[in-house]
Amino acid sequence: MSNKSWLFVPAIAVLVGCASAAPPPPREAAAPAAPPKTYSRDPYPSTYRAYPGVLTAIVGGTVFDGEGRRIDNGIVILADGVVRAVGGADTPIPDGATRIDARGKWVTPGVIDIHSHLGDYPSPAVEAHQDGNEVTGPVHPDVWAEHSVWPQDPGFTRALMNGGVTSLEILPGSANLFGGRSVVLKNVPARTVQQMKFPGAPYGLKMACGENPKRVYGSRNQMPGSRMGNIALDRATWARAVEYKRRWDKYERDGGEPPARDIGMDTLRGVLAGEILVQNHCYRADEMANVIDMAKEFGYKVAAFHHAVEAYKIADLLRDNHICAAMWADWYGFKMEAYDGIEENIPLVHKAGGCAIVHSDDPNGIQRLYQEAAKAQAAGRRIGIDVPDEVVWTWLSSNPARALGIDARTGSLRPGKMADVVLWNGNPLSVYTRPERVWVDGALMYDANDPRRRPVTDFELGQPGEGDVK
């Protein structure tokens, strides 16, 4: 990806003794001492609120629940923003429910894309919009993707209408070893990113292995200029983070003089504490193995390897370490570390007992993740790995939800979970199928039959094709 955002020097750097940090507590406080003040873990809180929905019964469709179960002629009840009931034809339909005839159609949990740059590399892809990589240095855990997200990116609406995507993770790019914090969004149009933030979702930390960091910085005669340089700089940074965490843990436990505040180290401390999930861009099998050892060395966990083009070579290792692999169905060869991409990657990871996820990393691909899953399913079948349709859907919903730490809230049609639901006009693993309706938290955000339920971003107003079917 061509990128010249390094021309613009960032205003943020390491902040020391930030005014927002708490003053030190009195040294000689009487026991029991008031707990030392600490910094906010959530200074840019979500202001997302579910849009109004109505009590809805989706009746007669084929239901994939997102956890691997299938119900024929099923009934799904949405009420108060959540899934109230899922079952067969005998499921009671509450009085007053809006009935939707889903005969001949399919009902699934919304698609979750764990790897998107919508908003931080938005359309139009002009240079002024290239906000996904803080390419001024390889270690930038201090930057947060949400501060780059442009809510008016038309790509969000396409992902909703054509892709049935209801939640997605926006990541910083992969120029840096430590790319910064990612953010999980509900896919609703909004004026501010705060209005899109998935309430209560943990943050992620984007990390990157391989070609990108060493190319970007090596070409400037800067570290890292090699894969060993990547790991060396990673380790030096984690070693600092361990020390930072020790000082802050001690302060928060015992009080005393507060340690100097470091915004980037806050993020790494959050990772070491298990509050922030590592989302690690990594293609090659051998490099993933190195990262797994590094995570053990410093005491953190990798939630998912992203791209993971060679996951099939170490599917056992990924399974044994409980690390998901977020993959494309058939991308290969665009760069050297993608040379060994194969169409069977996803089914081979699945077959090994691992956690397979279909991801996009692409504003077009995000509109067809269900088709990518179908391609991977077909590739598996050709070598005797027969994954049923309803299990394939776990690659698009419950597995990404798990790797994002939001699986208790969404990712399947379990009663009590968010009513993030798609009604498809056919089997969603067919190329001939499209979303007919999409609900987010029980609110109908898209209806193919109603042009007024078709979002149009600010950017598109007054332009050719405004409000068109895209």
Partner 1 sequence: MAIAGGTVALGDGSEPIQGGIVVIRDGRIVAAGRGVAVPAGAQVVDATGKWVTPGIVAGFSRVGLVEVDAVDAANDVSARNSPFSAAIDVAPAINPKAQPIAVNRAGGVTRAIVAPGTAKSIFAGQGAVIDLGADMNPITRARAFQFVEFGEDGTQDAGGSRAAAHVLFRNALREAADLGRRTGVSSSGAARAATANDQRTLPLEDQPDNSLLAAGRTRPQDVLLTRFDAAALVPVLQGRQLLMVHVERASDILQTLALRKEFPNLRLVLVGAAEGWTVAKDIAAAGVPVIASALDDLPNSFEELASTQSNIGRMRAAGVHVSIGMIGDNEARQVRQARQYAGNLVAIARLPGATGLTWGQALETITSAPAEAVGLGGEIGSLRPGRRADVVVWDKDPLENGAAAQLVLIDGVQQPLSNHQTKLRDRYRTLPEGALPKAYDR
Instruction: Give contact residues for partner 1 (rule: CB under 8 A).
Output: 123-126, 154-155, 158, 162, 211, 312-316, 330-336, 339-344, 348, 352, 363-364, 367-368, 371, 374-379, 381-383, 425, 429-434, 448-449, 451, 459-460, 463-465, 468-470
Amino acid at the residue 269: R
Nearer to partner 1, 222 or 364 (CB): 364
Q: How far is CA 245 from CA 141, 238, 269, 402, in A?
A: 14, 10, 5, 26
Q: How far is the CB of 404 from partner 1 (least distance, A)?
A: 24
- Looking up tokens 């979002």, which residue turns up? 455
Angle between helices 263-272 and 227-254 in degrees, nearest 10: 90
Nearer to partner 1, 122 or 258 (CB): 122
- Residues 268 and 160: their CA atoms lie apart, in Å, by 32
Nearer to partner 1, 375 or 417 (CB): 375
- Residues 420 and 300: their CA atoms lie apart, in Å, by 31
At 429, is the secondary structure helix, strand, or coil?
coil
176: DSSP letter: S
Nearer to partner 1, 249 or 340 (CB): 340
Nearer to partner 1, 48 or 283 (CB): 283
Q: How far is the CB of 130 from partner 1 (least distance, A)?
A: 13
Residue 56's DSSP bridge partners are 78, 98
149: DSSP letter: -
Nearer to partner 1, 9 or 126 (CB): 126
Q: How far is the CB of 308 from partner 1 (least distance, A)?
A: 13
Size of the chain, expressed as the number of residues it contains: 470
Q: How far is the CB of 153 from partner 1 (least distance, A)?
A: 9
Q: What share of the chain is helix, strand, coil (3-state, %, to 5)?
A: 30, 20, 50
Q: How far is the CB of 123 from partner 1 (least distance, A)?
A: 4
Q: How far is the CB of 378 from partner 1 (least distance, A)?
A: 2
- Residues 456 and 380: their CA atoms lie apart, in Å, by 38
